[in-house]
Structure formats: C-alpha cells, structure tokens
Amino acid sequence: MDTEQEEMQFLGLFGVYRESSKIIVSCRKIFSQITLTLILPLTFILLIHLQLSNMIISSEWATYWLLELTYITFLLIFSLLSTSAIVYTVASIYTARDITFRGVLSVVPRVWKRLMVTFLSTFVALFIYNFVAFFVLVILALTGLRRSYAIPIMVVMGIFYIAGFVYLTVIWLLASVVTVLEDFYGFKAMMKSNELIKGKMGLSILIVLMLNVPSSLIYLLFNKLVVQGMKLGYVERTAYGILCLILLSHMLLFGLVIQSVLYFVCKSYHHQNIDKSALSDHLEVYHGEYEPLKAKGVQLEHYLV
C-alpha cells in the first residue's frame, strides 16, 4: 500500500476506492488468477441462479428446492474461498511479502473453516434480528392500530429495520477480515468488528451502499436482458450475459479488496499500529500446521498522536 499507516485513518470514500484500485493494479496478475479461479465461478453461480429459477415452474417444488440447496452450497463455498484469498493477498501486499497464486491457493483451505464459523455466527444474529422484527410486526398487527397510525409506524419500522440490516452487513464484512488476520472468529470476530467500525460507521455504511448499488443494477440488467429478454436473439442474450458476468466479477473483486482496505483504515483510526513483521509471521503460519497467533502478536501496538 502506498499510503502510510498513520495516514490511512484520514481516507474517505474516494481515498479507499483509490487505494483499493492501486492494490489491484499493482498485483493485477495474481488478482486476475484469483478472479478466474474463484470469483468468476462465484459470479456465474449468482447469475445462473436467476436464469434457472425463472425456468422452473411453481409445480416442480422438488426440483426448485434441490436447486436452492445446490445454489446455497456452492455460493457459500466460493464466497468463503474468494474472501479468504483476497484478504490474505491484500495483507501479504501490505506486509511486502512475496506472494504467488499457488501460495494463495495453499492457504485458502486453512482459512475458510474459520470464516465458516464467522458466517454461521452472523447468520444466527440475522435470524434473531429478523425473528424479533417479525414478532414486533405481529404484535402491532394484533393491537388493531387505526390505518392513520399504522402506515407511519410501518414506515418508521421499515427505516429502522433497513438500518439495522445494513449495520449487521457491515459487521459481517469486517468480521471476515478480522477472522483471517487476527485470532478471532465467530461471535468474537463480530465483537471485534463492532469495535473497529466505531468512528468509521458512516464511511463503512457508505461503502456498503455504494458497492451494492452497481451490483444491483447489474442484476437488474441481467434479469431484464437475459432472463426475460425473450424478444432478443440468442447471440444478443449471450453477449449481454457475458457482459454482466464480467462486470459483476469485477465488482466482487473490487468489493473484497475494499473490505480489506477498510480494516486497515479502521485500525489506523483507533491508533492501532499494525506490526508488519508480526502480521507477516501470522500469515506465514497458514502455510504450515495452523496455530492461531495470539491477538496481541498481530495487534498491534498503540501509537501516540
């Protein structure tokens, strides 16, 4: 990374975007290899699911649920593998370690198990959050509120629900980086993530929203021109499908790199100076028998401003 660690705390949205772009360009070969091997299949799974779901009629419930189960399984696998590969690569670049594509692939299987625990913890948190929201909605429905009061209340609840959902998404994204780079995973990684985003909550939420907008537009484009584009010719639909595949894969790569850069920005904001040699040693452990480095080892000493 070109930006000094002490200065990273001052990076805003465009600063994070610029730093992430520099990282990708500086090691475009290895990022291209990761994209072709892990992110492109992940993107294909996301888009082909839209196409297949549209093709299956409602009466074919067995086929539909089999498709959903297969989709979720492969989506989870490639999502965790892609995350671990990108976070490890960005951290290696940060510590100026020599890194090869083969080295990244050898590390990924050792990291994804910890990421799985963090993902399941986040899933539990989201399940509880949605259950509570649904329970509150049922209570309000049973109270028989007048229509004049019900609509404003539902609007306010909707706003709070979306805000909470975005907050949990930010926690999950940063917790994934914490899981790879520190001795925390599961709920502990989420708690650590919650501590890190304090003071950078606005930036974190803005990044999540800015990344989801173009991704959503690509989904809409694919659904409109490929899934429902029956009036278009086969060649045109195929061309649009390939275009969406390329665009979305680049967005996923960019998002994962930004996710990693945001971690270092938050660390810098809290005046936690990352010991690059300790972090490098932590990354090196992944090449052998996995023995998590204690948090105080990777962590970092506080520096005075």
Q: Residue 267's pLDDT band (boundaries 50, 70, 90)?
A: confident
Q: State which residues form the domain around 277.
A: 5-302
Q: For residue range 104-153, list pLDDT tens digits in order.
A: 888 887 787 888 999 999 999 999 999 998 888 888 777 766 666 777 77
Number of domains within the chain: 1
Cβ atoms of 11 and 270 closer than 8 Å = no
Q: What predicted TM-score, i.e. pTM, was given to this entire model?
A: 0.82
List CB contacts of 11: < 8 A, sequence separation 6 or more: 3, 19, 261, 265
The pair of structure tokens assigned to 238 is: 């195929």
Q: Residue 247's pLDDT band (boundaries 50, 70, 90)?
A: very high
- The three-class DSSP label of residue 284 is helix
Highest mean pLDDT among 97-101, 256-260, 279-283: 256-260
Q: Calculate mean pLDDT across residues 25-49.
A: 89
